[in-house]
Amino acid sequence: MEERKIIIADPTALGLFGLAMVTLVASSSKLGWTSGTSLVIPWAIFLGAGAQLVASLADAKKNNAFGATAFGAYAFFWFAVGMSWMIQGGVFGSKLAESADGKQLAVAFVGYLIFTLYMTIASTSTTKVLFAIFVLIDFLFIGLALTGFGIAPEFSHKLAGWSELGISLLSFYGSAGAILNHHFNRVIVPLGKPLNIITKG
């Protein structure tokens, strides 16, 4: 029986583009350039969640556990955040909105900070750009968690906003590198060699 090999395209460019778009729009609200979250929600659902989920599933088929886990976890993060904003906005009724406790979101952000810390360690075996993105995501979750708990809210809110903007810019750069370098089969956009702090066995 003839065996057929299915080739799966590298989904990194799509996943990073989704991350770049949602963090760009979300950071504009945190930094006071825009207001509210109503029109951030579609970008959270379709780009932050949808695009990264597609990338996660593709990486899973490529047996890339790191990419599948990273894109998948952050996809579901944006699904949850989008729904949280809808709850706070009264989409599911005023009773649910009034009973919302923002500290529960802060607890969730702490959980994602823990996840991102060990993913940051794993990212040292990828590119310097991807490692820098994870470091900024660490700072984003620190800022979000502190804001949620009401600790130094003005500073922590700005920390989250500027970290998120940095994530967006680096993700655009990483997405461009992933697609252009592959498309032209040579380095057009340097992404930096792995740090390899921990060598693989």
For residue range 32-86, list pLDDT tens digits in order.
999 999 999 999 999 999 999 999 999 999 999 999 999 999 999 999 999 999 9
- 1 pLDDT higher than 90: no
Burial class (CB in 10 A: 0-12, 13-18, 19+), 172: middle
- Of 173, 166, 186, give the one whose Cα is nearest residue 127: 173
Quote the DSSP letter at residue 17.
H
- 5 pLDDT higher than 90: no
Residue 131 has what pLDDT?
A: 98
On whether the CB atoms of residues 161 and 134 are closer than 8 A, the answer is: no
Quote the DSSP letter at residue 7.
P
The matching CATH number, chosen from 1.25.40, 1.10.10, 3.30.980, 2.60.40, for 12-184 is 1.25.40
Separation between Cα atoms, residue 177 and residue 82, nearest integer Å: 29
Tokens linked to 165: 């903007």
Question: Residue 165: helix, strand or coil by DSSP?
Answer: helix
Q: What is the mean pLDDT of the chain?
A: 96
For residue range 160-193, list pLDDT tens digits in order.
999 999 999 999 999 999 999 999 999 999 999 9
- 156 pLDDT higher than 80: yes
pLDDT above 70: percentage of residues in the chain: 99
- Of 136, 81, 133, 142, give the one whose Cα is nearest residue 111: 142
Separation between Cα atoms, residue 197 and residue 80, nearest integer Å: 33
Residues 6+ apart with CB under 8 A from 102: 148
Global pTM?
A: 0.95
Q: Where are the domains of the chain?
A: 12-184
